[in-house]
Amino acid sequence: MLNKINQETLFHVYFAHWVKIFKVGAIREVTLKKYHNTQTHLEKLIPDLQLKDFDRTAYQQLLNDFSITHERQTVIDFHHQVKGAILDAVDEGLIDRDPTRKAIFKGKIPRAKKQKYLNQFEVHNLLSDLKLTPEISWDWLILLIAKTGLRFSETLALTPDDFDFIRQTISVNKTWDYKTNTGFQPTKNKSSIRKVQIDWQLSMQFQQLIKGKTSNQPIFVNGYVCNSTPNKRLARHCKNVGIPEITIHGLRHTHASLLMFAGVSIASVSRRLGHSSITTTQKVYMHIIKELENQDNDLVMRYLSGLS
């Protein structure tokens, strides 16, 4: 295949070859699916474009065509994946110059976003509606994520071995592949491997729940798992108590938001969530950080006005 790649090769063929050589086996399956999705779009949008003809105009037209049916952020994500292959093609002399330089990102108007997190009052109402039976259920998963901020895939992968009831911690060291049902998988990144402190009440509750269960088997998985099931369960609870409907991932946002409003540092929240860097946390929760900064400014002014 390497000997067949030249400047007259169709770009989508080169991209498929590039993904196979550089991405397969090096990235998570869920990420690899995104590259394959990009490959499908390239076949539809530029089926006849050869490497030698890939200039700035052709690339901008590709982005413009893609943006007709996608939001701006999705266009940017598409750009990053395609650009990786293009820069390698430039290095190999298959494309004369980088056509992605000064690319303009457009996109259709974003859909109205659902509320991502609940306030403290709404969380209390939500938790009061949970049916916490003596057996493991989706309601227990909802409670656990609300109190720990774990990702859904991390929560599904929890086994009795991951609970340390003496130190009141949960070890996060793997995920559960619920999308393709292949079982345990590595965490999203190295920073995701962590120990999460839990409160004494949650510790006592789960100590009873997992008693007698197989030590290395996931406690929330019993056959095929689809995230729509717990999401529907959560939505029903939200509707029952008259609060905005959020998703399971929204519980993670809720957890982080409540901690920040309670005065917990960004660094501590970032470590608890398993983000790859504080920058990631700042980007995701910028709206909350700005709100907290306004509160800080009020405190600063009140303090300074008392200095006389």
Nearest-10 crossing angle of helices 29-45, 11-22:
170
CATH number at residue 77: 1.10.150.130
Domain termination site, one of 53, 72, 91: 91
Domain termination site, one of 91, 111, 138: 91
CA 130/CA 102 separation, integer angstroms: 52
CATH number at residue 147: 1.10.443.10
Tokens encoding 306: 């008392």
Q: Which residues pair with 163 in a beta bridge?
A: 170
DSSP character for 170?
E
Query: pLDDT of 74-123, one tens digit each?
Result: 999 999 999 999 999 999 999 999 999 999 999 998 876 666 889 999 99
pLDDT of 286 reads: 84
pLDDT of 117 reads: 85
Number of separate helices (H) and strands (E) present in the chain: 13, 5
Q: Are residues 241 and 150 in the same domain?
A: yes
* First-to-last C-alpha distance (Å) of the chain: 78
In a domain, 273, yes or no: yes
Q: Are residues 132 and 74 in the same domain?
A: no
In the chain, which stretches have pLDDT less than 50? 1-2
Using an 8 Å Cβ cutoff, are 86 and 46 in contact?
no
Domain count for the chain: 2
In a domain, 112, yes or no: no
pLDDT of 73 reads: 92
CA 300/CA 302 separation, integer angstroms: 5
Measure CA 270 to chain center.
Answer: 14
In a domain, 107, yes or no: no
Using an 8 Å Cβ cutoff, are 151 and 255 in contact?
no
Q: Which domain holds residue 61?
A: 2-91
pLDDT of 114 reads: 67
